[in-house]
Chain A
Amino acid sequence: MLSRTAENLYWLARYVERAEYLARTIDATLRVTALPAAYIGKTNEWDSALLTAGVAASFYEQYKEANETNVVEYLSFSADNPSSIRNCIESARLNSRSVRTALTSEMWDTINSAWIELQEVWSKGTSTREDLAKFLRFVQETSLRFDGSAYRTMLRNDAYWFSRMGVHLERADNTARILDVKYHVLLPEEEHVGGPLDFYQWSSILRSVSALTAYHWVYRETLKPWLIADLLILNDTLPRSLASCYGNLVRNLDQIGVAYGRQGPAQRHARGIRNRLEHSNMNDIFQHGVHEFIQEFITDNSRLGEIITKQYLI
């Protein structure tokens, strides 16, 4: 396979995953901000949303205040924000157009019709909350259709593995970012069990990775911060946890390595991260600092992105 093709497949999957994540973040933030201020504390949730998306600096160059209108506009529709949902879908379509024949028609259909809908229905943004909810739903469903059609129709060869790698790398990055911005509400010393503030913050974290129900299945307990961290970092049965993303990344890289008869730094680096996750427990992580752990993970994860790019995509 041409490395250019691999690159397009990889980025296509990353952009779709990122668009869905942004939609989820906006959705979860809307829910929290709909509550009375006494419940959610003094933090500006829209500011956190910008931080988890990693676009706070560029946002403040353009806007003064992080409020619902501005942030939703910037994260969803802004042409100036390179990772707004609109730009993600545009980039996804550009990437899939250049590898049209490496995709199945179902995948192409999904991306192309999402792009058309974006032009025809959403070109002016959303004016009401109801509209916004519809838009966010549209984005999430696009991602579901894309994932589903890849899963159901693609040959299990390098094209599929590169595409999955994009999904899992982006997903790990997103989950880690949420944890990075919100880690302070997960720290045990800030705990006031049952306090409304924490409860809504915690459920919002879980909602942003669609893990609220999963939490109750796994722990059968009220929301506790260290269990939330455990679920999102170490539980490899949760598809958006760091451990699960890395289980999959390592497998995909191994499949590529076997198919090409050659292993490299990407395989080694990914295995190293997975080993660390596999051999960690929450006590140690809290003892050494959740923040440090997450920071290190984010660095390692983007380093893997660079290594993959160097080894396969250029």
Chain B
Amino acid sequence: MRLRIHHTTTYRYEPQATSVIQILRMTPCSHDGQYVAEWQIDVSNDTKLDTHEDAFGNVTHVLSCGPVGNIKITAEGLIETHDTGGVLRGADERFPAGMFLRTTDLTAVNPAMTAVARQLRAESESDTLGFLHTLMSQISDHMTFDEDPTNSGTSAAEAFTLKRGVCQDYAHIFIACARSGDVPARFVSGHFLRSDGTVHQDAGHAWAEAYVDGLGWVGFDPANSICATDAHVRVAIGLDYLGAAPVRGTRYGGGAETLTVAVRVEQAGRGGQSQSQSQRQS
């Protein structure tokens, strides 16, 4: 599937910020199920924009500018995706899977989650994939999608207790439980083509990847209760949201900050078939 993605992030500082530094993780990489045909990042101001890679192999851009009142960051491009049944192949793996058992503040478990994980793990015995699938559907049953009560700093345990949250919270809970069941898991940020035809979205998407022996990394999207498909565009990975967030940064000076995100994910129109023939000569 060919997806056109248009992702804008606007910051407004009142009064102006003296200087702003931000790290953008907005650039997808190719793997076997995903090919980046076009991609560009555009910033509304004259800024320095350096490209680097972080330890996980995510492409990062470091943006620094100031003084500034408004910054609009636009990431857009065309991605060709294939359904690989959720299995990730051909990606840049820089760490042994075991490193992703490491827990973080946002993905710490509470006793209730440990209990769920332990019970599901016991039921599925040695079937790791089965454990992850039941875990995904359990989380999906337990939680109600609700944008209000949580924010980007809500931890897995808090969201689990609230029984409410957004895709990021679903992913955190999944990761926390998988890790407590001794399965390496990590956070994925990216974009998702909604099946209901909604093109405009208020935020990017987030899901999780878990490591299954013999299969490798498998994408699980607990918010939609499916494995990653060709509707998912994988942008960055990390131990949790903070490691894979599209924008992280700091500023000097300035007062209130308003952040607006608009994402458009749609299937790209096919180009017309071009045909030209040449006369036979012999």
Contacts and interface: CB of A to CB of B under 8 A. Distances in A.
Asked whether A and B interact, the reply is yes
Interface of A: 1-2, 5, 97-102, 157-159, 250, 254, 257-261, 263, 267-268, 271-272, 274-276, 278-279
B130 to A, nearest CB: 29
Interface string B255-282: 0000000000000001101111111111
Given A98-B281, A272-B90, A260 B273 contact: yes
A258 B2 CA distance: 9
B32 A5 contact: no
Contacts of A271: 30, 32, 35
Interface of B is mostly: loop
What does DSSP make chain A's interface, helix, strand, loop or mixed?
A: helix
A157 B278 contact: no
Interface string B31-54: 110010100000000000000000
A225 B275 CA distance: 47
B35 A261 contact: no
A290 to B, nearest CB: 20
B163 interface: no
Given A1-B275, A98-B281, A268 B82 contact: yes
B234 to A, nearest CB: 13
Given A1-B276, A101-B279, A275-B32, 15 more contacts: A100-B281, A102-B276, A158-B274, A254-B37, A254-B80, A258-B270, A258-B271, A259-B273, A259-B274, A261-B271, A272-B32, A272-B90, A274-B30, A275-B91, A279-B93
B146 interface: no
Contacts, number: 66
B35 A2 contact: no
B206 to A, nearest CB: 23
Interface in B8-45: 29-32, 35, 37
B92 interface: yes
In the complex, which range does the number of interface residues on chain B fall in? 20 to 34
A99 B271 contact: no
Contacts of A263: 80
A101 B278 contact: yes
Interface of B: 2, 29-32, 35, 37, 57, 80, 82, 90-93, 270-271, 273-282
B87 to A, nearest CB: 14
A295 B74 CA distance: 42
B113 to A, nearest CB: 34
Given A271-B30, A271-B35, A261 B276 contact: no
23 contacts: A1-B275, A1-B277, A2-B278, A98-B280, A98-B282, A101-B278, A102-B278, A158-B276, A250-B35, A258-B2, A258-B37, A258-B270, A258-B271, A259-B271, A260-B273, A260-B274, A263-B80, A271-B35, A274-B30, A275-B32, A276-B90, A278-B92, A279-B92
A258 B30 CA distance: 18
Contact of A157 (B2, B90, B276, B279): B276
A260 B272 CA distance: 7
B281 A97 contact: yes
A254 B82 CA distance: 14
Contacts of A261: 270-271, 273
Contacts of B90: 272, 275-276, 279
A286 B82 CA distance: 32
Contacts of A260: 273-274
Contacts of A100: 278, 281
A206 to B, nearest CB: 28
Contact of A2 (B31, B270, B271, B277): B277
A259 to B, nearest CB: 5
Nearest to B35: A271
Which 9 A-B residue pairs are closest in the complex by CB-CB distance?
A279-B92, A275-B90, A261-B270, A102-B278, A101-B278, A258-B271, A271-B35, A259-B274, A5-B278
